[in-house]
Structure 1
Amino acid sequence: MAAIDASGVDPEAFVRTRGGHQEIDLLVSGVHCAGCISRVESAMRDYPGVSNARLNLSTGRLSLAWNGPSGQARAMVKRLSEIGYPATPFEPETGADAASQEERRLLIAMAVAAFATANVMLFSVSVWAGTDMSAQTRDLFHWLSALIALPAVAFSGRPFFSSAWVALRNRQVNMDVPISLAVTLACGLSLYETIKGGEEAYFDAAVMLLFFLLIGRWLNSRLRAKAGAAARQLAAMQASTANRIGADGQLKAIPARDVRPGDILLVAAGEKIPVDAEVIEGTSQLDAALVTGETRPADASPGTQIFSGMVNLGAALKLRATARRDDSLLAEISRLVEAGEQNRSRYVKLADHAARLYVPIVHALAALTLVGWLVVGAEPRTAIINAIALLIITCPCALALAVPAVQVVACGRLYRSGVLVKSGDALERLAEADAAAFDKTGTLTLGRPQLTNRAAISDADFELAARLARTSRHPLSRAIADLAGMGEVADHVAETPGGGLEAIIAGERVRLGSASWIGAEAAGETVSEVWLQAGDRAPVRFAFADRLRSDAADTVRAVEALGLPARILSGDHTEAVAGMARELGMESWQAGLKPAEKIAALEAARGDHRHVLMVGDGLNDAPALASAHVSMSLASAADISKAAADFVIQRDRLSAIPEAIIIARKARRRVLENFGLAVVYNMIAVPLAVFGFVTPLVAAIAMSASSLLVTLNALRLAR
């Protein structure tokens, strides 16, 4: 059989041929950190013929390109399995969310460790307190502890044991190696002492150690699991259908992935454009927010180039496809978002810096302790106990909890302020931000057109316009209908694509539409307006504008007061952006930007050593939100933008932005304080363990106390 991956699927069936080389996307399991990315990418790049290997930590998606036969995909999947990272073909439509599965496994492991810790401690407390306890009763309690602890350790310790085994098999070490060593030696020594009837056993230390470490690992996994949501949602958006007109003139619904350049497609009113295409028949208007971020609809007529993801607002259009789904604008945005997530996944967190020093130092100290006691003539048992005590007392519980504990408290405080935190390292990156960039439409503004000259329109004319507007989905019609509220609807309304609405009301022809259709003089291309004409009376102008949010100006000033100079990055036209910037007192702004151009602006700022906070809401902002050093989106934003952002402001209140910055900076100080506490703790604990003043049990208690200390320090942030 050709199938060799864990799911029994032949990866060769998912290979794409493009530009003379082969490509495949794989879903890789077991990826936890930047070190995993380096190992996977290095192993693949060393493979003969591979020209590109890029792994996304958030989604677990590995993109490979090579020169050679497509069957080579099987060998590469096998190689990944050999180095401890099983892989299956990446299928966005049906693929399981590996991150959520990992989170569930960690939660179950943590629950088992908690159960074991609680029950083993009951026996341990009885042994400690029972000064006149008989040896037989003590041995019974030790055996009962072993019956509970050993299966629990074997089950709950798997995340650490498997990771340590993979590292050792590849002649490397990670933080899970000393953890696994400490737990294994503690259980082994405790079992030995129980068998020979010794006075002390340390099963409680082993299960308690696992429980505290699993808390930190689960908290980190829970936050990191949300980071890849943007790319997954964009992939789901691409899994749509298209209506293709065949050579025989028959209309057939097909998956969008089967569309090829040159295919003739029919897109009805209200449907999304499935691929990039050119209009060959029909006239309509499109919601082009994906491309420009503008609320004003774009006109579409024969010869107009349109893009995937746009929505047809008017009459049906006949299109000629100009690209495959994987080469469309939506696919490009998906790649931009994933590339941005990949850049952020390489961000080196404070805990990673500490971990690089922890592993070699702890191993060296434990080995020196063991050898030192043997050299001075101690029994092997004494030397082993002291080495185990050192491994346990220096075990990175405080280090593992230093960041997650602060994150949880800070996230809770932000939640009470209406801000959701979606990325594990987002607070660190927000604390580092030293510049801010805002989208205009929907972020600084309300994101929907509003009637600005209602006072100049008579009630009778307004009601006539509302009766027509209630029948249309056009954004300007919706603005009139929403302002008018529920009411009468005109009968037999005819809608002319690109023109407007027409009906007979009380024996009189009433029209609501564009200036050219009505025959009025337009105010200009950059102004949003419709005109009402009833019978032979003079046309009445309805002017619209996207109004500034009430707290936008105060927010910009507060952000700049915190040391973050603010600018506008918008896809809207120059006049609108320039006017908004003047109103807000902002000197720096850019208009007419496509998604890739927004990323280029952020990259330029990064080149100037700026850490930019990006705030946006539209589909076209998603790549920039993913690429920025840190990002925020509003609750009313497009789903993709909320998924790509690190923070979501629940109440659409921009004033929450400076508040979040302040909390993030306080959280960073608490993290640094926790690392300081962990260092001081180890400076005291390590000499005591090295010189034999600490048993494994005391080491476990001290380790738990250090974890409690950093947790209490983190709780100060809640005030």
Structure 2
Amino acid sequence: RDRLKQTAPGALVLEANGSSRWTRADALRPGMTILVAAGERLAADGRVVEGESGLDIAFLTGESAPVRVHPGDDVQAGSLNIDGPIRVEVTAAGADTVIADIARLMEEAGQGKSRYVRLADRAARLYAPCVHLLAALSFAGWMIAGAGVHQALLIAVAVLLITCPCALGLAVPAAQIVACGALMRRGVLVKDGSALERLAEVSEAVFDKTGTLTLGRPVPQGLRRLWRDDRSILLSLSRASRHPLSVALRQALEARGATPAALDNVREVAGEGVFADYEGVAVSLARPRSLINLFGLAAEYRRGDQALLLGFTDALRPDAAETLDVLRGMGMKILIASGDRPEALEEIARETRTTAIGHLRPADKLALIDRLKARGEKVLMIGDGLNDGPALAAGHASMAPASASDASQLTADAVFLGDRLAPVALTVHAARRTVAVVKQNFALAIGYNVLAVPLAIAGKVTPLVAAVAMSTSSLIVIANALRLKGVVK
């Protein structure tokens, strides 16, 4: 659970007499009232008793839009308070919070995966004792047949040398090291060799939406229709706030080369927006006044009596639809599982031609993975948020983008860089090719032993020839593994 760093270390507890005191998170108890300032994370689950604000609960739902909360609404530990101060009555703290439940789910789900034993380990358990037993039997057999101790000992040594498990021992790690190196050059970090074995076996891919299929950051729309001075005003207004939409707007305007305008009386009103004066005219970047918001994510730019609604979208990764088609071509089933609202999934489901399920909490995603596993599917889970952690741990294999939360990156078997989704398909392809090469290496190693060992037992091979043969077999296995250098061209 120490991997989950979303909660605050403590909170300001309000006493009945009006005083306040800082209290550690593990000392909070139900019934206490805490004050959560703008920019702070909640240290406990609770219910809002005073104030209104926007909360970032992406760790729980994966949804990028801040959620408005009012008195009477339930809030969870780990939520980031964006706009203004709120008072919260604690209902659960410590091990009883929702975020603690996520940690427990991750630990329980990960236990099954840790029992996965690599193929090479299974083979090595039997190989060494069998080789020594075979050499001892060869020595005893030649002694019974009347050979001298010297001759019988040379034959036993030749058997030991020619059946040295180097080729078998290199069959798996050589292929995996080469494949992992090739993937790393393409921006994919694979945690260990057993991950490649599991990635090669996956039959269904389950994708989170926000931050996985999408870029996970709001992108403002319609900036081209703004006049240059409006862009300058908006840049200055957006620089005055740390709201996610303001940050996205600032980055987009700076990327377009906008220069900030000189504003007067700049002020931010919690929960409302940023207000200022430009050449004697009131300007603002604020919450939309309309109750109907067709964009889902929007802010309203006002200049005097004029108002313009700026819509924001969370764009799909540029190759998302193409990558899903590639995975389907590899025989995999595809599913989108998200904490977002179902209506927020409709367009993405249509663009990617994929079934999407919404309103899933962490436990729901874990239950979904378990149902798929019960049907015989080997699930590849791809997600980025803390809410995806239990599902990532429960999947037969898992991947996360480099922009994912720390917990998700630690849980995932592989992490990929960049804005493209293609590394997911590349990794599955590389894993399958790696397992194919591993099987070839095992066939080479076993075939070599089947031919060489009888010759050594029959006394037809000297220790020197046996040593040369053993080294040659190892070189052949390594050369075969090196073919994987071009596995992800």
Query: TM-score when scaled to structure 1?
Result: 0.62
Secondary structure of the corresponding residue to residue 241 of structure 2: coil
Q: Is 1:573 matched with 2:341? A: yes
1:334 offset after TM fit, Å? 2.1
List alignment gaps of at least 5 residues for structure 1.
Answer: 1-230
SS in 1 for 2:275: strand
Question: Are 2:260 and 1:493 aligned?
Answer: no
Q: State the secondary structure of the residue aligned to 1:369.
A: helix
| 1:527-542 mapped onto 2 (5 Å cutoff) | 527-535=296-304, 537-542=305-310
Q: Deviations over 1:149-189 (max 9, x none)?
A: xxxxxxxxxxxxxxxxxxxxxxxxxxxxxxxxxxxxxxxxx
Which string of whole-angstrom CA distances, capped at 9 and with x for unpartnered residues, describes residues 367-411 of structure 1?
A: 433443443355667656655554454343222221110011111
Question: How has the CA–CA distance of structure 1 residues 266 and 386 changed in structure 2, closer, same or farther, with 3 Å as cutoff?
Answer: farther
1:233 aligns with 2:8: no
Structure 1's 451 and 263: CA in aligned 2 closer, same or farther, altered over 3 A?
same
Indicate the SS of the match to 2:419: coil
CA contact (8 A) 2:8 2:42 kept: no
- Aligned 1:398-413 pairs, distance under 5 A: 398-413=167-182
- Contact in 1 for aligned 2:7/2:42 (Cα 8 Å): no
The answer on 1:365 being equivalent to 2:104 is no
Q: Which residue of the other structure, out of 252, 259, 262, is the alignment partner of 2:28?
A: 259
What letter matches 1:543 in structure 2?
G
**What is the CA-CA distance between 1:702 and the residue it aligns to?**
4.0
**Cα distance, 1:477 vs structure 2:** 1.6
Partner residue of 1:354? 123
- Mapped to 2, the partners of 1:563 and 1:583 lie a distance apart of 20
Q: 1:584 & 1:534 partners in 2: Cα distance? A: 39
Residue 639 of structure 1 pairs with residue 406 of structure 2:
yes
User: Which residue among 170, 195, 205 is the counterpart of 1:436?
Assistant: 205
Quick one: which of 265, 269, 287 aligns to 1:514? 287
Task: Using the TM superposition, name which of 367-376 and 444-453 deviates more.
Answer: 367-376
Q: Which moved more, 1:281-290 or 1:374-383?
A: 374-383
AA aligned opposite 1:620? N
Q: 1:264: Cα distance to partner?
A: 3.3
Q: Does 1:678 align with 2:445?
A: yes
Q: Equivalent residue for 1:192?
A: none
Change (3 A) 1:305 1:392: farther
Gaps of 5+ in 2: none
- Aligned partners of 2:477 and 2:199: how far apart in 1? 22
Q: Secondary structure at the match of 2:200?
A: helix
Root mean square deviation of aligned Cα: 2.8
What is the alpha-carbon distance in structure 2 between the residues aligned to residue 247 and residue 693 of structure 1? 94
Alignment map for 1:319-718 (pairs within 5 Å): 319-355=88-124, 357-358=126-127, 361-362=130-131, 364-377=133-146, 386-387=155-156, 389-485=158-254, 487-488=260-261, 490-515=263-288, 518=289, 520-523=290-293, 527-535=296-304, 537-586=305-354, 588-692=355-459, 699-718=466-485
Q: Deviations over 1:301-343 (max 9, x none)?
A: 3322222222111223333332232232222222222333322
Matched-pair contact (CA < 8 Å) for 2:317–2:419: no
The one-character-per-residue Cα deviations of 1:263-289 (angstroms, maximum 9, x if unpaired) are 433333222222323323332211111
**One-letter identity of the residue aligned with 1:309:** G
**Cα contact 2:8–2:78 (8 A) shared by 1:** no
Give the AA of the match of 1:616: G
Provide, for residues 660-690 of structure 1, a one-character-per-residue CA deviation record: whole Å limited to 9, x for no partner. 2222221111100111111012213332443
C-alpha distance in 2 between matches for 1:389 and 1:237: 61
- Code of the residue aligned with 1:434 in structure 2: it is S
Task: Assess, with a 3 A threshold, how the Cα gap between structure 1 residues 301 and 387 changes in structure 2: closer, same or farther.
Answer: farther
Q: How many residues align?
A: 482
Closer, same or farther: CA 714–490 of 1 in aligned 2, 3 Å = same
Q: In 2 relative to 1, CA 688–541 (structure 1 residues): closer, same or farther, beyond 3 Å?
A: same
In the TM superposition, what is the alpha-carbon distance from 1:474 to its structure 2 partner? 1.0
TM-fit CA distance, 1:577: 0.5
In 1, are the aligned partners of 2:124 and 2:169 still within 8 Å (CA)?
no
CA contact (8 A) 2:34 2:88 kept: yes
Residue of structure 2 equivalent to 1:270: 39
- The question of 1:288 aligning with 2:54 is answered no
AA partner of residue 493 (structure 1): V
Kept after mapping to 2: 8 A contact 1:571/1:593: yes
- Call closer, same or farther: CA 1:689–1:341 in 2, change over 3 Å: farther
- Report the Cα distance in structure 2 between the residues aligned to 1:398 and 1:670, rounded to whole angstroms: 13
Q: Which amino acid aligns with 2:83?
A: G
User: Matched residues in 2 for 1:381 and 1:274: separation?
Assistant: 77
How far apart, in 1, do the equivalents of 2:247 and 2:385 lie? 19
Q: Letter of the aligned partner of 1:332 in structure 2?
A: D
Corresponding position of 1:15: none
Distance change >3 Å, CA 372–CA 568, structure 1 → 2 = same
Q: Which amino acid aligns with 1:430?
A: L
Q: How does 1:239-254 map to 2 (within 5 A)?
A: 240-245=9-14, 251-254=20-23
Q: Is the 8 A contact 2:8 2:43 kept in 1?
A: no
1:302–1:696 Cα change, 3 Å: farther
The answer to whether the 8 Å contact 1:635/1:652 transfers is no
Q: Give the TM-score normalised by structure 2.
A: 0.89
Residue 193 of structure 2: SS of its match in structure 1? coil
User: Residues 191-250 of structure 1, C-alpha deviation per residue, up to 9 Å, x if partnerless?
Assistant: xxxxxxxxxxxxxxxxxxxxxxxxxxxxxxxxxxxxxxxx6533x556834444456655
Give the 3 Å change call, closer, same or farther, for CA 576–694 of structure 1 in structure 2: same
Give the letter aligned to residue 553 of structure 1: A
Q: Distance in 2 between matches of 1:258 and 1:382?
A: 77
Secondary structure of residue in 2 paired with 1:493: strand
Distance 2:186 2:231 in 1: 40
Aligned mates of 1:438, 1:446 — CA distance in 2 = 13
Runs of 4+ in structure 1 displaced over 6 angstroms? none
Q: Distance in 2 between matches of 1:705 and 1:457?
A: 71
Q: Is the 8 A contact 2:398 2:412 kept in 1?
A: yes
Helix, strand or coil at the partner of 1:510: strand
CA shift in 2, pair 1:465/1:695, >3 Å: same
Matches within 5 A, 1:28-47: none
Distance 1:307 1:689, change over 3 A: farther
Contact 1:457 1:540 in 2 (8 A): no
Q: Distance in 2 between matches of 1:514 and 1:494?
A: 15
Counterpart secondary structure, 2:382:
strand
Aligned equivalents of 1:340, 1:701: Cα separation in 2: 48
Equivalent pair of 2:282/2:303 in contact (CA under 8 Å): yes
Residue 132 of structure 1 aligns with which residue?
none
Change (3 A) 1:442 1:511: same
Q: Which has the higher helix share?
A: 1
Aligned to 1:558, what secondary structure does the other structure show?
helix
1 CA distance for matches of 2:472 and 2:14? 71
Tell me how far apart the structure 2 counterparts of residues 262 and 696 of structure 1 sit (CA, whole Å): 80
Structure 1 residues 686 and 253: alpha-carbon distance in aligned structure 2, compared to 1, 3 A threshold: farther
Aligned match of 1:90: none
CA distance in 1, matches of 2:364, 2:321: 25
Is residue 465–residue 512 contact of structure 1 (8 Å, CA) maintained in 2?
yes
Q: Could you say if the C-alpha distance between residues 711 and 623 of structure 1 is closer, same or farther in structure 2, counting changes exceeding 3 Å?
A: same
The one-letter code matched in structure 2 to 1:278 is R
Cα distance in 1 between the residues matched to 2:143 and 2:277 = 103
Q: Letter of the 1:571 partner, please give it.
A: G
Does the 8 Å contact 1:616/1:632 carry over to 2? yes
Tell me, what secondary structure is at the counterpart of 1:425?
A: helix
